[in-house]
Structure 1
């Protein structure tokens, strides 16, 4: 009986160590995005559209923005999360430090199909990039605050942000989502447990 109890304790300890190692690996992967030389931000705090995000990131979800008049949508937003972000959020219900969210914003084309009025992504307008910053890495940088780095990039020039001050240009749209860490969670079923 003592051998069985010892084996059970050993298995529980092994499972706990494995779970901790998996959590730390997820956190380390997310934090790598904000480490110097990361693809989403450089050592000066300048954000970038990450290379190959469509291939290496996870699809977080999408949004259709209704047309001002008429039928269909005027924009479609497709959002990706850096590797490990979804798993970490499902476990802790928070975005891990270093998590990167990339939102593609498309103009749409709307037409009639056999299924009804359909809007689909047409021309890319640009990207909105957010990087979780739980440690306030870039104090005084007008693109960082409220726990995130924030930047918009026009499709014509993905290498340079047009954002000058996140408080005036980004945060105002996110105020209704303040209680959920400035992110609208409803459109992301993959974050639900």
Structure 2
């Protein structure tokens, strides 16, 4: 059975320790990531923390990340991408995908990102590769991943 854990902070991550900033400015939107393994989609509704993560999101994993999901340990090069869209409540109790809000990228490189569990984080507002949202070296992103240390700081589990 696939365990789906919504991406985002839980209450305990708000008191996470401060980490040294790292340079994540060279992280780019991977070409063709929507053809990677689509792990799952979730709907984060009002009340989800952090509030900016409200919306429909699709999680993609490259082959190295899929191998890590199966093994429970991720090697350098493992990459996840999350497309997060606004959602629109429609007639007849329906919810539809709205405008693309952000594309978030998480890439494993233990030597380059030691301050954030070996993971580099970057996000792109509106999916625009020229509008980077991460300005703190990924420390705010990582603070939400700390409770998942048992899974190499990856919130998503299983590759089934």
The two structures have a TM-score, normalised by structure 2, of 0.69
If asked which structure has higher relative contact order (CA below 8 Å, sep 6+), I would say: 2
Given that 2:104 and 2:122 are in contact with CA atoms closer than 8 Å, whether structure 1 keeps it comes out as: yes
For the pair 1:191 / 2:146, whether they are aligned, the reply is no
For the pair 1:87 / 2:58, whether they are aligned, the reply is no
Please give the per-residue CA displacement for 1:19-44, whole angstroms capped at 9, x wherever unaligned.
Answer: xxxxxxxxxxxxxxxxxxxxxxxxx9
Given that 1:106 and 1:123 are in contact with CA atoms closer than 8 Å, whether structure 2 keeps it comes out as: yes
Alpha-carbon shift at residue 167 of structure 1 (Å): 5.0
Given that 2:120 and 2:138 are in contact with CA atoms closer than 8 Å, whether structure 1 keeps it comes out as: no
The two structures have a TM-score, normalised by structure 1, of 0.59
Query: How many Å separate the matches in 2 of 1:45 and 1:110?
Result: 35
For the pair 1:63 / 2:39, whether they are aligned, the reply is no
The equivalent residue for 1:147 is 118
Given that 1:59 and 1:80 are in contact with CA atoms closer than 8 Å, whether structure 2 keeps it comes out as: yes
Structure possessing the higher radius of gyration over alpha carbons: 1
Residue segments in structure 1 that go unaligned for 5+ positions in a row? 1-43, 69-73
Report the 3-state secondary structure (helix = DSSP H, G, I; strand = E; otherwise coil) of the residue aligned with 1:191. coil
Given that 1:108 and 1:122 are in contact with CA atoms closer than 8 Å, whether structure 2 keeps it comes out as: yes
How many aligned residue pairs are there?
Answer: 133
Query: How many Å separate the matches in 1 of 2:65 and 2:138?
Result: 24
The equivalent residue for 1:177 is 148
Report the 3-state secondary structure (helix = DSSP H, G, I; strand = E; otherwise coil) of the residue aligned with 2:90. strand
Bigger helix fraction = 1
Residue segments in structure 2 that go unaligned for 5+ positions in a row? 1-23, 48-53
Aligned-residue Cα RMSD (Å) equals 2.8
The equivalent residue for 1:46 is 26
